[in-house]
Amino acid sequence: MSDDLDPLRRVRPDRLQPDDPLDPAVLAEQRERLMSAIDQTVNPETGRRTPSIYPRIAYRDEAAALEFLTRAFGFREWRESRMENPTGMLAWLEVGDGVVMIGRAGPEHHDLSSPADLGGANTCMVNVYVDDVDTHHARAAAEGARIVMPLEDMFWGDRRYEALDLEGHRWHFGERLSHVRERLGGRG
């Protein structure tokens, strides 16, 4: 086939510069996720267990929030559970044995608001225990989370800090001091 679209055919990216050959691991991983999603459809009880209580957190830009929460706070997305449609995305993020759900803010989305819609006001805070709050704190700060309570050892036996995400939701990250001491080999 040869016609006036030939210049366009020639700028097909892999013709201009061949991409790296397909990584079979990428396809293997995606195949595994597909099969696990299918398995969940068939046998819901073998699938992910959502806890009996978990929050849904609303964002103006839930895609940016998803990216931020995984990058800055190290949450892991249940990728096969993500639901995308033109009016918004729903994603589930795993944190230890807990789960948070994130979605879009707005009247048509359960009438939920983002702090970004409320001049920064929050009506709740999500508390998260992590394995190593020192590393978690350093990573969050480096990735642009706004630290609003410094990392401190508290009288109730936790080391904790608090941070705001991109739209101002407040997150409390802690680790039991006994765990901190164990982790640091008695030096904590």
Partner 1 sequence: MDEPTDAAVIAASLDDPASFAPIFDRHAATLLRFLVRRVGPDAADGLVGDTFRVAFERRGSYDLDRPFARPWLYGIATNLLARHRRAEARRLSALSRLAGRAAAGAPEQAAAPAEAAVERLDAQDRWPTVASAIADLPPGERDTLLLYAWEDLSYGDIAQALGIPVGTVRSRLNRARTRLRAGCEPGGPRSEQPSTPTEDRGRIGP
Site residues for partner 1 per CB under 8 A: 1, 3-17, 19-20, 22, 26-27, 29-31, 33-35, 37-39, 41-42, 63, 79-80, 82, 84, 86, 89
Neighbours of 82 (CB within 10 A): 12
- Supply the minimum distance, in Å, between the C-beta of residue 57 and partner 1: 20
C-alpha torsion 122→163→57→48, nearest 10: -150
* Min dist. Cβ of residue 153 to partner 1 (A): 39
Q: How far is the CB of 49 from partner 1 (least distance, A)?
A: 20
Given the DSSP bridges, would you call strands 170-176 and 125-129 parallel, antiparallel or unpaired? parallel
Q: Which is nearer to partner 1, 30 or 135 (CB)?
A: 30
Handedness of CA 90, 91, 95, 96 (dihedral sign): positive
79, 66 in Cβ contact below 8 A? no
Q: Compute the least distance from the CB of residue 67 to partner 1, in Å.
A: 11
SS3 22: coil
Terminus-to-terminus CA distance in the chain, angstroms?
A: 71
78 versus 173: smaller Cβ distance to partner 1: 78
Q: Where are the beta strands (DSSP E) in the chain?
A: 56-59, 76-77, 83-85, 88-95, 98-104, 125-129, 146-153, 158-164, 170-176
* Closest to partner 1 by CB, 80 or 167: 80
Closer to partner 1 at the Cβ: 91 or 105? Answer: 91
Beta carbon nearer to partner 1, 91 or 180: 91
In whole angstroms, how close is the CB of 89 to partner 1 at the nearest point? 8
